[in-house]
Structure 1
Amino acid sequence: MSGPLYIPVLPARQHATGAFGRLWPDVRAAIRPLWNLPPLPGAAPQTLTTAVGKYVDPVSAVSRHGGWIDAPFGEDAQIAALAEALSAYCEWGRLRPVTGPGRTGFQQMAAVETARRCRRGLGVRVRVPGEWDGRHREDVRGLLSRTGPEVPVDLLLDMGAVLDDRPDAGKEALRALDALMPLAVWRSATLLGGAFPRATAEMLERGSCERSRAEWRMWHEVRATGRAYAPLLRYGDYGVQPPSALGQDPAPGRKGGPPWSVLRYTTASSYLLFKTLTRGPDRIAVNRGAARRITRLPEFRGAGAGEGEAWLSDCANGPLSTGEGVGGPREWLRAGNLQHMTYVVRSLPGG
C-alpha cells in the first residue's frame, strides 16, 4: 500500500485553493486533497459544465500532484451532467473520481468508468457519521465487484465530525476498517475526521477558546491497536472548518454575515480560536490583538515555519493606523489552512 502523508477534505472554494497553492513545495507534495464541489442548487444540467468549471478549474491548476474530486451535494437531476463534467478533469488532469455506498447506481458506474479511462484510480468514500453500519460492507463489496481488479482503489473512511462527545469514534473506526480492509487490495487507506469545531458567539464570549484535536487522537488510537493495516493508515481531516461547512459559503460578506469571525491556530493537542471583527471601529485593534495573542503563544512556531505563521506575524505587527494586512474571513481561513496543513505534514511520520 502506498500513498501521500496527509489527505485534507477541502471545499473547492477560493480560500482553500489559494491556501493549497501557497504551501511550500515539499509540503504540497506530501498532500492529496479530497476536494468537494459545493452545492449548485437548481442549476440546470445544460449549465453545469460552466458552473463546475468555476470551482474545479482552480482546483485542477493547483493539483499537480493529484487528489480526488467529489460532488457530494449533487441533486438527482444533476448526477449525469456532474459525472460528465467532472470526468474531463479526471481524464485530462490529475484528479481521481470518488464514489461510495449510498450513491446512486448511475453515479457509481459513472465514477468507475471514469476511473477506468483515466487510469489513476477510484476513491471509495465511506461515511460513518455515528455508529458503523454493517450493511455498508456489502454495499462496498458490490461496488468493488463492478470495479474490477484493473482499477486501483483508495479507501476514504470518513468519520465526519469527531468531537469530544464521540469518545467511541476510535472503536467505530476500527469496526469499519476491520470490515472493509479485507474486501480489496487497497492502494491506500485513509482515516478522515473533522477538525476545528464550528465557532459560535457563546464559545468566544471571552475572546478565545480551546478544543482538543479529537480526530488526531482517534487516528493515533487506531494506529496503536497492532492491526496489520494500522501502520499503513493515512491521516486526514477537514482542515480548519467543520464538516458541515463544506456546503456553505465561508464568507457571505461583511453586510450579510455576523460582525465577528475567528483566527485559528493548531498545536500538538489543541485547536485555538481567537475572536476577530469583520466591521466596526475596533476592527483593526481587535484583529491585530488576536494575531498577537497567537504569536505570543509558547506553541507558536515562528514566522519562518510557513506562510500561515508569516501572515499571522505580519498581521500582529502592523500599525493600528491602517487596516492593511488585517484581512477578512477568507484571508483568515486561508492563513488558518496554511498553518494547519503545514503543521500536520510536519507532525506525521516521514513529514
Structure 2
Amino acid sequence: MMAGNGFFPGARHAVTLVIRGGNGSAEGAAMSGPLYVPVLPTRPYAADAYRRLRPEVQGATAPLWSLPPHHGLSPSALAAAVRREVAVVGKAQRHHAAWLDAPFADDTHVLPLAAVLRRAGTFGPLRPVTGPERSARQQQSAMATAADSGDGIGIRVRMPGEWDGDTADAVHDLLERTDPRVPVDLLLDLGGVLADRPDAGKETLRALDAMHSLAAWRTIAMIGGGVLQATAGALEEGWYEQPRREWKTWCHVTEGDRAYLPRLRYGDYGAQPAASLARDTRSGKGGPPWGVLRYTTEQSYVVAKMLTRGDARVAHNRTAARRLLDMPQFRGPVAGAAEAWLRDCAYGSGTGGTGNFSTWLWVGNAQHMTYVVHSLRD
C-alpha cells in the first residue's frame, strides 16, 4: 500500500474531505483541511517544534494541545500556570487553528480554567475540547466557550481498549446538548497503541462505524500513540528501533472501502509516549544522566541515547548524531530544521552544541511531524 518518494518513502496520498450530514449523505462540495492531528503538551519544547515547521507543514497540522496535570494548586495558582502555558502555545499557534484541552483537570478546576480558556482565543482559533466521560460542569463550560468563539468544539472520545457501544449513546447525548450552530470535531483517541493491542484497527473501525453518522462532523480524526517509554535496559547498546504500531493501525483502518474513510485524518502523540502527557511537570526529582533522541522512519522509531552530563557527553552525543546521519533513511538537512540541527550536532558546526532534554524533544517532534505530513500528502 505504500510507495516511496525520495526523501519520504512510504508516503500515502492526501485525502479529499467531504462533509456529510447526520445520515451520512454528502452535504456539500469536497473541501480540504489539515491532514494531521498530533497531541502535543503545552510545553515550550513542543511549541518550539511546531514553530520551526515549514509553512506548508504547519498549515497541514492542527495540534491537539494538552495541558498537563496541576494537582494540588489553588484556583489562583492554577489560573496563573495555565495562562503561562497557553501564552507559550499561542505565540506559536496564532496563524492556524488547533484544539486546546485540559484532560487531567478535575471538577474543582473547571471554573478557574474557564476564564483562562475563554481568553485563549485571543491568540488565534484555539478550540475547546470536551468528551462524553467528562463532568457535566466541564461539558457545559466547553460548550459555552465554543458558542462564544464560534470556531467549534472538539469531542474527544477515549478508547484505551475495546470499543464500548454505550459510548456512542453518550456522544449522541452530548451532541444533543451542543448548540447546533457550533461546528463539531470528532477526536477518537486510542491512547497508547502498543504490542498489547493487536486488534486496535478493528476496534477503531467499530468506533467509527458507530459515530461517523452522529453529526455533520467538520473533522474526524483517529489518534494513537505508538512510542514506547525508553528504559536503561533497552538502551544498553546506546541504540534501538521499535515498530510504529500506530501507523500500522492507521494503514489497516484506511485500506478498507467504508464511505467515511476518505474524510478520516491521522493523529498521534508526536515522537513521545502517550503516557508522558500525564506527568505533572512540577514533579521532576532529577533523573538518569541520559535522555533520548528519536528519529522516525517508514516503519519504525530509531531511538538514540544522549548523555546529559559527564566528561564523555559531547563526544558521545556527536557520535549518536552521526550514526543517525549515516542511516539510509536519514532525510538530509534539506528536510527541515530538525535534520539541520542533527547535522550541526554531528559535526560540531553552528552554535547549538549537542543539546539537552528540551532540544532533543523539539528535534524529535519536529522531524516526526514533518515526516508524517509528507507521508500523508505525497
Scaled to the shorter chain, the TM-score interval is over 0.9
How big is each residue's C-alpha offset from its partner over 1:290-327, in whole Å with a ceiling of 9 and x where there is no partner? 101100000000011100100001101118xx995100
Q: 1:249: how far off?
A: 6.0
Q: Distance in 2 between matches of 1:155 and 1:50?
A: 30
Q: Distance in 2 between matches of 1:344 and 1:299?
A: 14
Equivalent residues in 2 for 1:1-351, closer than 5 Å: 1=19, 2-63=32-93, 64-90=95-121, 93-248=124-279, 256-318=286-348, 325-349=353-377
The 8 Å contact of residues 344 and 352 in structure 2, kept in 1 or not, is answered as no
Q: 1:93: how far off?
A: 2.9
**Which AA in structure 2 matches 1:7?**
V
Could you say if the C-alpha distance between residues 92 and 318 of structure 1 is closer, same or farther in structure 2, counting changes exceeding 3 Å?
closer
Could you say if the C-alpha distance between residues 267 and 172 of structure 1 is closer, same or farther in structure 2, counting changes exceeding 3 Å?
same
**Which AA in structure 1 matches 2:167?**
H
Q: Distance in 1 between matches of 2:39 and 2:57?
A: 16
Could you say if the C-alpha distance between residues 235 and 326 of structure 1 is closer, same or farther in structure 2, counting changes exceeding 3 Å?
same
How big is each residue's C-alpha offset from its partner over 1:220-265, in whole Å with a ceiling of 9 and x where there is no partner? 1111111101111000000011111112267988x81111111110
Sequence identity percentage: 54
Q: 1:49: how far off?
A: 2.5
**Which AA in structure 2 matches 1:348?**
L
How big is each residue's C-alpha offset from its partner over 1:8-67, in whole Å with a ceiling of 9 and x where there is no partner? 100000110011111111111111100011111111123333211110001111112010
Q: 1:84: how far off?
A: 2.3
Partner secondary structure for residue 183 of structure 1: coil
Instruction: Give the gaps of 5 or more residues in structure 2.
Output: 1-18, 20-31
Q: Distance in 2 between matches of 1:88 and 1:213?
A: 37
Instruction: Give the gaps of 5 or more residues in structure 1.
Output: none
Q: Distance in 2 between matches of 1:209 and 1:251?
A: 30
The 8 Å contact of residues 168 and 210 in structure 2, kept in 1 or not, is answered as yes
Q: Which moved more, 1:289-298 or 1:75-84?
A: 75-84
The 8 Å contact of residues 110 and 141 in structure 2, kept in 1 or not, is answered as no
Q: Distance in 2 between matches of 1:209 and 1:327?
A: 20
CA RMSD between the two structures: 1.8
**Which AA in structure 2 matches 1:303?**
P
How big is each residue's C-alpha offset from its partner over 1:61-97, in whole Å with a ceiling of 9 and x where there is no partner? 1112010000011122112211221111136631000
How big is each residue's C-alpha offset from its partner over 1:187-245, in whole Å with a ceiling of 9 and x where there is no partner? 11001000321111111111111111111111111111111011110000000111111
Count of residue correspondences: 347
**Which AA in structure 2 matches 1:274?**
A
